[in-house]
Chain A
């Protein structure tokens, strides 16, 4: 996938903004619900009315502590807030409350898994809390811009990686891993299309073996996993071709345009990024007591990597199967429910990742909206295990369950799909097939062993696929000897 001249190396760092799933805002008691009418969830603190003071939401601290633990990082206490100053109409205060010197989470790492099965450790520089800005609508309001401040003050945590990512594929693997973690921790819905998770990519290139970093650009506005990969790929190729044709790279912010798959400059003024940070005088340093941290960590769920290892050990799944199932907490729960019902982990995993995933993808459904419940799928697998139906017939039953919502046993019963295990019934079918094919019988008896498969096929056809193949084999062997 990554095709660029082998004498070049890409150096990538990601900044990921995650919208925290709180009920109320970071510093005010206004609601954070998505999709409300403009400015109906913006109170006087969000509007920066004179004399108001921010009051910190405790839940946000708990979420940050959990994230810090999941990222193998240090939790700073005290941690403090800072003002980041810039002028824009959707930022009424003229500054964003963020963190600078003492971010709540610092010095962590994340092990990501690559497609070739190898793993790589990516350092996490920091994760800091900050408030989101409002939204500017540039459609024409009599030549003016419209401002909606509902999003103003919504809590965000920004996760900054070390520049230790070296390809678009690694960037996506890292992003997916962060996504999986925030979903597991239930600190965000991670919906990239709605902006609950946003990614900025710092990209530079250098000659392989060079110690010095090249000039980097920051690409913003990338809102899907696929676009992150494409935007970074484009930016790497652009920088290499600029340098190879004798130009230099300008340090700038670029915007990714998914319509035409290019990036273009957004801000170039050299002092546009002077945010003049200083400690936020309206907020005191935040002290996180040991007891608070301990109590918060007691609520940590089992994380994706731990779950994966447990799936390998407890259910004897392959690393690959286990990591696919463990990546999504809901999928992992579904799997464990199916396995609890069916007692066959391998079959459960196969059915979930095969037939079920195919149907879910086809209808673009999440596992939580599956038309077949975990219990139903478990029962279907039981009917294969106890030989009521064959694996092949099970696929038909699955289809019927998916479309009708009926129970496994009702479908098997109603459609007469039970596997034929009655020996006398199979015997009579075998005899019938032998009688009807005298020529093939003659050839078989004269040494054409391969025709055995033909007879098996004819018997299965006669039974409409319902005969137990093992029994058919055995009886055929007996009968053909006679």
Chain B
């Protein structure tokens, strides 16, 4: 399955990865191989098979609704690059900018 430059750019954007123009041909080649494999998988007859969301034949355990984690802010913020008034500081984000 052929991939266009535009599609490759979109995938890079979604993954927040910067790729340079020189690596386009090789990346495209590799991704096309992966997509081909998925097409092959898609061609398998699965009408009779129930969809599976996990490979283990187990079900999810649950926990009672109890507060077990006390405030650990000080410890957890020790490794944060920038903190002010208990908030984590990050580069300015404006809604809709992406």
A55 touches B89 (CB 8 A): no
A87 touches B53 (CB 8 A): no
A38 touches B60 (CB 8 A): no
- Within 8 Å of chain A (Cβ to Cβ): is B94? yes
> Which of B61, B71, B86, B96 has a CB less than 8 Å from the CB of A266?
B96
A57 touches B62 (CB 8 A): yes
Which of A280-288, A325-333, A347-355 participates in binding chain B? A280-288
**Closest residue on chain B to residue A267 by CB atoms:** B96
- Within 8 Å of chain A (Cβ to Cβ): is B42? no
A58 touches B63 (CB 8 A): yes
A457 to B60, CA, bound (A): 77
- Within 8 Å of chain A (Cβ to Cβ): is B65? yes
A58 touches B64 (CB 8 A): yes
A23 touches B65 (CB 8 A): yes
List of A residues within 8 angstroms of B14 by Cβ: 85, 271, 274, 276
Which of A26-34, A311-319, A435-443 participates in binding chain B? A26-34
A148 to B91, CA, bound (A): 14
> Which of B60, B66, B95, B98 has a CB less than 8 Å from the CB of A23?
B66
Count, A-B residue pairs, CB within 8 A: 143
A146 touches B88 (CB 8 A): yes
Contact A146/B72 with A55-B61, A56-B60, A87-B98 known, Cβ cut-off 8 Å: no
Residues 23-56 of B, flagged 1 when their CB comes within 8 A of A and 0 if not, give 0000000000000000000000000000101101
Q: Size class of B's contact patch?
A: 35 or more
- Within 8 Å of chain B (Cβ to Cβ): is A305? no
- Within 8 Å of chain A (Cβ to Cβ): is B84? yes
B54 touches A57 (CB 8 A): no
A38 touches B66 (CB 8 A): no
- Within 8 Å of chain A (Cβ to Cβ): is B92? yes
Contact A287/B98 with A38-B86, A144-B90 known, Cβ cut-off 8 Å: no
List of B residues within 8 angstroms of A40 by Cβ: 71, 73, 86
A143 to B91, CA, bound (A): 8
A31 touches B67 (CB 8 A): yes
B9 to chain A, nearest CB (A): 10
B59 touches A285 (CB 8 A): yes
A38 touches B85 (CB 8 A): yes
B13 touches A271 (CB 8 A): yes
A29 to chain B, nearest CB (A): 3
Within 8 A of B (CB), among A280-312: 280-281, 283-287
- Within 8 Å of chain B (Cβ to Cβ): is A374? no
**Closest residue on chain A to residue B95 by CB atoms:** A266
- Within 8 Å of chain A (Cβ to Cβ): is B68? yes
B87 touches A80 (CB 8 A): no
A56 touches B62 (CB 8 A): yes
List of A residues within 8 angstroms of B77 by Cβ: 39
> Which of B13, B51, B68, B87 has a CB less than 8 Å from the CB of A146?
B87
A142 to B82, CA, bound (A): 11
A283 to B87, CA, bound (A): 30
> Which of A59, A145, A267 has a CB less than 8 Å from the CB of B90?
A145
**Closest residue on chain B to residue A57 by CB atoms:** B65
A284 touches B54 (CB 8 A): yes
A290 to B23, CA, bound (A): 55
Query: 9 smallest A-B Cβ distances: which pairs?
Result: A29-B68, A146-B87, A59-B65, A43-B69, A58-B62, A38-B86, A287-B59, A279-B53, A80-B53
List 5 contacting pairs A-B, 8 Å CB cutoff, sorted by A: A29-B67, A39-B87, A78-B53, A271-B13, A281-B54
Given A38-B85, A144-B92, A280-B53, 17 extra CB contacts under 8 A:
A22-B65, A23-B67, A24-B69, A29-B66, A39-B87, A40-B71, A43-B76, A58-B64, A88-B93, A141-B87, A144-B82, A145-B93, A147-B89, A148-B86, A271-B14, A284-B54, A285-B59
